[in-house]
Structure 1
Amino acid sequence: MRGGTRLPRAVRLLVVARAVNRLGAFSLSFLTVLITTRFGASAAAAGGVSAAFGVATVPSRLVGGRLADRIGRRRTIVLGLTGCAVAQVGLATAGGLVTAVCWAVLLGLVFEIYEPPSQAVIADVVAPDEQVRAYGLLNAALAAAGMGAGLLAAAVGRWDLRWLFAVDALTCLLCALTVRLLLPADGRVASAAAARSTSASPWRDRALLRMLAAGTLFAVVYLQIMITLPLALDHEGLRPADAGLLFTVSALTVAAGQPLMRWRRLRTLSAPVAFVAGHLLLTVGLAGYAAADGLAVHVASTVVWSAGDLLLVGRAQAVVASLAPPGGTGRYLAVYGTSWGIAGVAAPLTGTQLLEHAGTVGLWSATALACLVLAALQPALLRAAGLPRAHREPRSPAVELPDGTAH
């Protein structure tokens, strides 16, 4: 059976706006190429620029969370996207290496600002028992738009790499304009409790820090797939470009699986059960990579781990949002989101070392083991967090009343 109420208009508009932005979010994959081909820098120097960008994204997300709780969700999203557009134009028009490096670092400093308020909007307007579906829809839309982004990049990049950054800037501005015109205006923080919560540090919340630790391990595993898979395929004698096919299969699996998340059995899963099932599917899929001897097995394994991702996507954000005090959702989501910045530094280092010293079998076996550890530990972490009942126990499906409301 299918169920669930229709998501609020603000969420649907946000999903569309972010999907438009994602269609142009392909330029960063070509940052190192731009640095080497246009400015004659070495590969090592280009890698250093890319690393500097990655480090700059960590404070960017924290700033976005604080601004989201201080000045409002819509204003912060618009500010972040506009900053990205300005920095992208700067990269497209840079006349020298030093200028390009400055714009790249600036881009990193504004790149994640709009993420915490985007996630906080969902926490603000969606009921707790529907937040997982809302976060899942956002991620599925971004995945689907990502497939189109690859095709658009292939077409635009044939002219000049600088056009990639110009198109990316345009989609940022279109997304900002959509959010500014169509999303509800930011309300004033009226309650004293909400005002006081802005001074409480999320870094002192042990439950949040436990979620951050688990989220960082998950992000390291996930980025291993995104970063190391092409190298691993090359080690196995397959074409590195086949990773693009596997990424497309993953995106299709997540997008096609979204309607299934409206089914009663899946929609009412408690957080502990969903985390265990999702991580076990990831374990099986990554173990399949370790045992794979051809592209067909890689494709089948990709479908399996992507099904696990479908169960997990949005789940952690919903849990973290439930931990936040009134007025602190943006900062809590921002702190949790730093897991991806930390993983962005750790994943390429650990992945390349594992690949060099243990081969593809060692690489994927280690990532599968990490997922197995998460499957074992995540329920205990959730119990220790003292989650609301909606996350600890299976939820009863909403009953649609004649007036359109749900109970």
Structure 2
Amino acid sequence: MTVATGTERPSWTGLPAAVRLLVIARAVNRLGAFTLPFLAVVLTVELGATVAEAGLVMTLFGLATIPSRIFGGHLADRLGRKPTIIVGLVGCAVSQTWIALADQLWSAVLAVALLGLVFEIYEPPSQAVIADVTAPADRPTAYSALGAAMAAAAVAAGVLAAALSHWGLRWLFVLDAATCLACAVLVGLALPTAAPPSTAQGTPATGGEGWRDRRLLAMLAVGTVFATIYMTLILGLPLTLIARKLPPSNIGLVLGLSALTLVAAQPLQRIRRLRQLNTFQVMTIGYLLLAAGLLANGFATNLLAFLAAAVLWSLGDLLLLSRAFTIVAALAPEHARGRYLAIYGISWGIATTLAPLAATQLLDLAGPILLWTTCAAAALALAAVQPSLRRHLNVP
């Protein structure tokens, strides 16, 4: 299967109704997705865990998300997209409610482990729905719309978190559970139900499918590097602001501008010159913009400089995230699309494990300049390998 480049990019209103519904539903869910930064606080302050114990629990959560995504991919191809999304969201709601009600550390640990095991279930079917109902040329716009909506909702989530935290941290988990259920209801009522692709095509699902596809494994390797850069960016920015003697609260302004950039820059996807480039040429530009923004982080000494850097790396994200999913969706046989997207998504679980170590060690070793120069060099390397990756994948 090949990746079509197309000559037109639809606007938001031109996307299929199923995509628009899914974007809205996931944005509703994202409004409550602000609990993870507060989880360690609940474990230590309210349940008596040491900082080291809280770190181990968070590591347990990160590791549990890896099989969660694989399970979500298998369910999406066997059970169907809609039921799998609902299962994942309801599982998250149950886990978040359990955390909110836990009065013993062991109970909270079990709830966190369950949350990790269900946390990523709905991601592969959500991504697969977009691929199912859009033409290849329309997928970058559709995936980009999903990313932009979730980024905008994340900004609103921060405001909600600030308001609710005054009532007590447990209420954050209650609201997160409520938004998961609200998203599940929206999906259940309005998303069309379709037969699982493997059933519809009469193609049996095999557990090893995808892992034997060297093209997918190449995308996984490249995606893991990118995801590690991205997670290092999110984790390293607050530490860099502290190192530059800036208030840590400024990270909210930086991330808010990043989300605004992702939303406001959506029309760039439809620029004619950009449409004339193939997918990998666009991704090369994206990695170059990302590298420029990362390098700017290393030399920024005031808020204005960090904000300018955020615009650069956010424009890079705009071009990269949507097209990576587009490539993976096009590589996958239709009956295995959920599993392919799940395997590719493992990159984020790996990155969540590696990035904290990378960010803290590089900062301790030589400060922000080494951290962000290293990240920029990795982004430049990814830009350089795009022509070779295109030939290896054998796509236009």
* TM-score, normalised relative to structure 1: 0.92
Pair 1:283 & 2:291 matched: yes
How is 1:7-406 mapped onto 2 (pairs within 5 angstroms)?
A: 7-189=15-197, 195-196=203-204, 198-387=206-395, 392=396
How much has 1:175 moved relative to structure 2?
A: 0.2
CA offset digits 1:350-402 (Å, max 9, x no partner): 11110000211000000000000000012211221112xxxx2xxxxxxxxxx
Give the equivalent residue in structure 2 for 1:398: none
The alpha-carbon distance between structure 1 residues 253 and 305, as it changes in their structure 2 partners (threshold 3 A), is same
How much has 1:3 moved relative to structure 2?
A: 5.3
Decide whether the 8 Å contact of 1:75 with 1:186 is kept in 2: no
State the secondary structure of the residue aligned to 1:78: helix
Give 1:350's aligned amino acid.
Answer: A
Give the equivalent residue in structure 2 for 1:399: none
Decide whether the 8 Å contact of 2:293 with 2:309 is kept in 1: yes
Deviating above 6 A after TM superposition, structure 1's stretches of 4 or more consecutive aligned residues are none
Q: CA RMSD in A?
A: 1.6
Decide whether the 8 Å contact of 1:198 with 1:327 is kept in 2: no
Decide whether the 8 Å contact of 1:194 with 1:328 is kept in 2: no
Report how many aligned residue pairs link the two structures: 388
How much has 1:186 moved relative to structure 2?
A: 2.3
How much has 1:289 moved relative to structure 2?
A: 1.2
The alpha-carbon distance between structure 1 residues 194 and 240, as it changes in their structure 2 partners (threshold 3 A), is farther
Distance 2:199 2:67 in 1: 28
How much has 1:193 moved relative to structure 2?
A: 5.8
Distance 2:127 2:169 in 1: 31
Larger deviation: 345-354 or 197-206? Answer: 197-206
Decide whether the 8 Å contact of 2:77 with 2:198 is kept in 1: no
State the secondary structure of the residue aligned to 1:196: coil
Decide whether the 8 Å contact of 2:15 with 2:142 is kept in 1: yes
How much has 1:261 moved relative to structure 2?
A: 1.5
Distance 2:47 2:107 in 1: 10
How much has 1:268 moved relative to structure 2?
A: 4.1
CA offset digits 1:15-54 (Å, max 9, x no partner): 0000000001111111001101111211111111111111
CA offset digits 1:192-235 (Å, max 9, x no partner): 86513545521111000000000000001000111111111111
- What 5-or-longer segments of structure 1 have no aligned partner? 393-407
* TM-score, normalised relative to structure 2: 0.95
The alpha-carbon distance between structure 1 residues 271 and 3, as it changes in their structure 2 partners (threshold 3 A), is closer
The alpha-carbon distance between structure 1 residues 274 and 98, as it changes in their structure 2 partners (threshold 3 A), is same
Larger deviation: 299-308 or 115-124? Answer: 299-308
Distance 2:226 2:214 in 1: 18
How much has 1:91 moved relative to structure 2?
A: 0.3
Larger deviation: 147-156 or 190-199? Answer: 190-199
Distance 2:392 2:90 in 1: 40
Distance 1:310 1:235 in 2: 28
Give the equivalent residue in structure 1 for 2:3: none
Distance 1:83 1:191 in 2: 25
- What 5-or-longer segments of structure 2 have no aligned partner? 1-6
The alpha-carbon distance between structure 1 residues 98 and 3, as it changes in their structure 2 partners (threshold 3 A), is closer
Distance 2:388 2:9 in 1: 29
Pair 1:4 & 2:10 matched: yes
How much has 1:191 moved relative to structure 2?
A: 6.8
Decide whether the 8 Å contact of 1:291 with 1:361 is kept in 2: yes
Distance 1:116 1:320 in 2: 11
